[in-house]
Each structure stands twice: as structure tokens, then as C-alpha cells.
Amino acid sequence: MGFRPSQYVQYPSSEITSIMKRIEEFNYLQDIDAILDKILEEARSLSNADAGSIFIVESDRLRFGYVHNDTLFKQDEANEQIYVDFSVPINSQSIVGYVALTGNTVAIDDAYHLPPDSPFGFNAAYDRKAGYQTRSILAVPLYTFHGRLVGVMQLINAKDEKGRVIPFFKKIQDLIPLLANNAAVAIDRGIMNREMILRMVKMAELRDPMETGAHVQRVGAYSAEIYHQWAVKHKIDKQEKNRQKDLIRLAAMLHDVGKVGIPDHILKKPDKLTKNEFNAIKRHTVYGGRLFMNQTSSLDQMSMQIALCHHEKWDGSGYPGKISNIMQKDVKMGSPRQKSEIPLPARIVALADVYDALVSRRSYKKSWSREKALDVIESGAGEHFDPEIVEIFFQILPVIHAIENKFKG
């Protein structure tokens, strides 16, 4: 890896150093969403672009992956646009499609006045729908160092110091590709991490067919967005916020992997559980915690907190409670944790999981309407749930619903 020597000669070393610093932060992130967010942040700050999006190659199409747009939404606000779900074919009907098809970087000064011989079209439908005016575009293919295309990044509306839209400078057109290789590698890693976790979830799903990939991706996304708002409200430093948001999305997806240890006749029972059966099921929290005992990474640490504590309740009536040795055979439930004794990520997942369990069908229950589920969440404030988390959840309902639409089934 690294740059070929000739490239060092081409650019002033201060710019290379600044790019290396930007790239380094990619390595701290695990999840694909956090990685895409970071790549757009760095590419936009390097080019002073108002907006940008990344599309990911998915067989013969490009799937929309992430978007930034300073004009349409603030970075700190909950944003349902990032959960929009669509893809475009890899062909020259779109700019990103053309870039994927040919591997060429495309720089456009004015999207509405393309040269008549332009090999691609600009689709103004997105602008019209969003109420935005695209002018200058820089679209770059994202290749790994092995030359495999991972996606396309499109930067939109470079600005001068006064905020006026200008074309992308030639220098920027040369610098962005340096970031692109490393971005592609980070994206690859992010996709692999997500797939690895979904594979773990599948093992649990074989046991509990209702605990699906879609369910856990929703719980992961709700949790990440709730955390984001919590962190903004508590003025958490941006880098710390981004790292924790990254971790909670993945760790929340693993909240119920401990169900692998619960016998089928209990887990798949179509009716209400007996008291003994429910006592057995409570152990899924402890079994989950055991999986992350060797806390070698921050992801393990958070996964442990969430797996162990996602059924604790704010008022101290949850489970498993404080257990001195979670490796003990036939482990007994301890005295419940309450309020801030419950780690914040677990307080967040507790709400996200219950909301999603209620609106989903289970072996033992029908799916509930959103209204009925929201009533349960609202009336659980201060009892089952941390009231502050409930308040934040209601503030970001449009994002919650966008997530439900994206991960269906």
C-alpha cells in the first residue's frame, strides 16, 4: 500500500501529509455507514464541496450508500435522506453510472449545460425532488489498490470563500483520487464487517427465525441515530461521537446473539411462555455477554454491555442484574441495575429493540400498529425506559420511519 514515489514528487508534501491524516481516521471506523460518512466529510472538506454522495457497486448496479448536503440538511440534525433506498444501472444514462462503466473521473462545471457531445446525461429529477441546484460536479471511481471498483463518489458544488458555487479546481481533481483508493479499501472493510456480523446474526436466526437480519439492521440504525442526537445534546466531541456511533450500530445488531444458547422448544414456542421457560430465556443476555468476554476491542466492550444489559429497565425491574461471575454454570439472575447503572448503549438498545419487536411479527405475537407501539414506548418513559432516550426517539421519528422503510421484511 502507500503511494508510488512518483506521486510524492507531483504534490507538495504538506498536502500529502494532510491527506494521510484524513485517511488515517478511516482506520478507526468499523461500520460501512460510519466509513462512508467519514469519507464524504474528508473529501468535501478537501474540495470545499457543498454536497456529495457515495454509490456502492452491487452486481450490475450502483446502490445509493450515503449523502451529505450542507444546503438541505445540517450534519448535526437527524436526517432521513441517508436511509433513502434506490439504485441506478451502470450505464451512461447517469453520471455515476458512466464513471462506474468507464472508470473515468468526470469533472463538470455546469450540470445544466453539458456539451452536446457529452457521453452521459445529467438527471435533473433528483434536484427537482430535493429543491436543490446542482452546478459543478466531480465524480470519481473508487478503486482498491488491486484495481477492483467498489463504488463511485460524487462531489457537488465546490464553493469559494464567499460560498459561491465554482468549478472544482484542477488541483482538487488531482488530489481527490489519492483519497479514493484508501476510501475504497475502507469501504471494502466496512462491507465485510457488516457481512460478518450479519453472518453471526444468521446463526442466532436459525434458532429464532423472527430475529432476522432486517430486524437487527433496524435496531442498529435506530440505536445509532438515537445515540447521535444524545451526543449532540450532550456536546460530545465530534470525533468521539462518530466513533461511538459507529460502534453502537454494530454492537446493537448483536444484542440477541445469546439466543443461540436457548433451546428451540422455548424460543419457537407459538404461545405465551411459562415462568420457567421465561427464566430460561432470560439467560440469553448472559450467553451474549459471554461471547464478548475477551474484551480485546472497544467493539467487544460495547457488544458486551449491550448483550448483557439490553433487558435491564430504568426503574430497576429488568434482568439479568448484577452477576459476580457470568461464566458460572446455571447462572442466577442478580439484583437489577437501574438508571445510570445501566450503560448508555444498553439503555438505547432497550428502547430500539422493544419498538421493533412490537411492530414486528413474532412466533408468539402479531405485529402491532406503529401507533400502539409508540403508546407503549411513551408510557414506558421513566419505567422501562430512560425518559431522555424516549424524548429523543420521538424527536427523530421521521428518521425511524425511513429506517423501517429501508430494512423491510
- Amino acid, single-letter form, for residue 58: E
Count of residues of this chain found to bind Fe ion when the rule CB under 5 A is applied: 2
Nearest to 343 by CA among 292, 397, 409, 394: 292
Q: Is 4 in the site for ligand C2E (CB under 6 A)?
A: no
Q: Is 136 in the site for ligand SIN (CB under 6 A)?
A: no
DSSP notation for 19-84: HHHHHHHHTT--SHHHHHHHHHHHHHHHHTEEEEEEEEEETTEEEEEEEEETTT--TTS--GGGG-
8-state DSSP, 187: H
Rounded least distance, CB 207 to ligand C2E, Å: 10
Nearest to 267 by CA among 281, 256, 279: 281
Range in contact with ligand SIN (rule: CB under 6 A) among 26-34, 94-102, 225-233, 240-248 = 94-102
**What does the chain come to in residues?**
409
Q: Which is nearer to ligand SIN, 122 or 287 (CB)?
A: 122
Range in contact with Fe ion (rule: CB under 5 A) among 3-11, 239-247, 349-357, 384-392 = 349-357
CA angle 408, 231, 298 (to 5 degrees): 80
Q: Is 108 in the site for ligand SIN (CB under 6 A)?
A: no
79 φ, ψ to 5°? Answer: -140, 115
* CB atoms closer than 10 angstroms to residue 323: 18
Encoded one letter per residue, x for contact with ligand SIN by CB under 6 A and - for no contact, window 306-325 reads --x-------------xx--
Q: Is 95 in the site for ligand SIN (CB under 6 A)?
A: yes
Separation CA 205–CA 402 (nearest Å): 24
Q: Which is nearer to ligand C2E, 147 or 270 (CB)?
A: 270
Separation CA 200–CA 399 (nearest Å): 26
Select from 149, 291, 326, 333 the one that contacts ligand SIN (CB under 6 A).
326
Select from 46, 100, 323, 357 the one that contacts ligand C2E (CB under 6 A).
357
User: Which one is catalytic: 170, 259, 332, 408?
Assistant: 259
Q: Is 353 in the site for Fe ion (CB under 5 A)?
A: yes
Q: Is 363 in the site for ligand C2E (CB under 6 A)?
A: yes
Select from 31, 50, 205, 353 the one that contacts ligand C2E (CB under 6 A).
353
User: How many CA atoms are closer than 13 Å to the CA of 146, on its beta-carbon side?
Assistant: 4
CA distances for 20 relative to 27, 40, 150, 165, angstroms: 11, 15, 20, 27
Select from 47, 69, 79, 94 the one that contacts ligand SIN (CB under 6 A).
94
Q: Which is nearer to ligand SIN, 183 or 396 (CB)?
A: 183
CA distances for 117 relative to 5, 80, 113, 120, 142, angstroms: 37, 37, 11, 9, 25
Residue 323 touches which of ligand C2E, Fe ion, ligand SIN, none (CB < 5 to 8 A by kind)?
ligand SIN
Please confirm, yes or no, whether 129 is among the known catalytic residues: no
Select from 80, 208, 256, 404 the one that contacts Fe ion (CB under 5 A).
256
Q: Could you give the residue numbers annotated as active site?
A: 259
The residues that touch ligand SIN, with contacts defined as CB under 6 A, are 88, 94-96, 122-123, 126, 308, 322-323, 326
